[in-house]
Structure 1
Amino acid sequence: MTIFQAIILAIIEGLTEFLPVSSTGHMIIGSSLMGIQSDEFVKLFTVAIQLGAILSVIVLYFKHFFQSFGFYFKLLVAFLPAVFFGLLLSDKIDQLLESPLGVAIALLLGGIILLFVDKWFKDGEIDNHNDISYSTAFKIGLFQCISMIPGTSRSAATIVGGMSQRLSRKAAAEFSFFLAVPTMFGATTKKLYDFYKDGFVISGDQVNLLIIGNVVAFIVAMLAIRYFITFLQTKGFKIFGWYRIIVGGIILLLLVSGYDLHVI
């Protein structure tokens, strides 16, 4: 992987991680078009640069992380289903990650759902994440587990899950951002552990790529989050639904044409 390729992947990560469009689907297209060969470091890189995206959430919502212990307990309650099902279904998830066709189908189906979300959940009564109950947090955590299917989008699953529990678009999106912190940190930690457990070592050049990737992902994610909240409040989800359908269609066309797509 070159520095240029690392920067492009980090831009993709920063733009798509918090939008309901599936970062996995975009990583497939981006890495394949750039001819990046999947190996253990590339797999680690695509997960580890999530730390930059996590930091953007902490910086933008700094005050929220120091309001009360109840805030952390709610995040823990919402995070626990992902821990349970992630450990239980880890082998099955790895198998799904090997299927670009599955990712394309998930993108298409999720896109169709987003076309109707604004009609299904028009009036969210809860406009402040502080008013979210523990039971609601747990239910949103269950929705997050759906995103273990590659191509679904963690952001889409948790935001739609929040809106189904009477959260406003803004409150659902913000809680999705907050929940990303323990979820993505946990995924990165596990990936690093597995990397070293399997006997791999990160070289000096690879460390530089990780630093560059995280810095770029941090900056881009900051911008994406800022504009996403405003856009979501005024425009809704329909444009993201059509966009997902287009991306899923592109992946299907590439597969039909015999293009060698791979999930990194």
Structure 2
Amino acid sequence: MTIQRYKDYDSLSSAAAYLVWRQIKQKPDSLICFPSGDSPTGMFKFLVQYAKEGRIDFSRAHFVGLDEWVGMDKNDEGSCSHYLHKNFFSLLKIAPAQVRFFDAKVADLDRACQEMDEHITNLGGLDMMIVGIGMNGHIGLNEPGTDFNVYAHHSALAPVTIDVAKKYFTQQPRLTEGITLGLRHLAEARTPVLIASGSKKAGIIAQALNGPVTTDVPASIFQNLPNTQIFLDHGAAEKLNKE
């Protein structure tokens, strides 16, 4: 586990974008998992800039979305896939064949999970899986109590997750369940990446990276993943033990 501390969010975002840039340079057909939310927005801005300047070519890369609110897809404003299209895929006109999201509107969610697992396996596994961290330590929508060995799955959302999610919607939907890549995917990714910013994340970051490894704090799995890259700005790192 390598922890990188940066003076501010912009520096963190630039460094995270450089990590993706380096991955694509080394393996143009990489399979990368992208998250939605506030934390990766700056990274996407840098990556879009690099691509438009001709410094990076995503034409051979493949992407999967980390998670989705059950009952939503890219046409629903506030959904995870809508965010990723708005902030990255649509801006660079990434071909639809390069991108896979959960179909969170189907009746058979177990089948949707199985299809995502098969898709990742067929592409040779995740080269890079980038995630943020929830206020309760969740990764993707792997809520507290999730088994570290689970692949894609769907489950009930924690109350704090539902409360935090409200900011993404202009009209409040009824959020009850999420569908997500599993913590086993994170463990098997060749490069797992965590991005966190702001003082509001400092407490859970310290708990996840300095506390006991437990399913009560899903993000504590990072302590068991030697290839992990952790990107924190000053605020997020302020309660972390000095190394």
Structure with the bigger RCO (C-alpha within 8 Å, sep 6+) is 1
Give TM-score, length-normalised by structure 1.
0.23
Greater gyration radius: 1
Q: Higher helix fraction: Structure 1 or Structure 2?
A: 1
Q: Which structure has more strand as a fraction of its residues?
A: 2
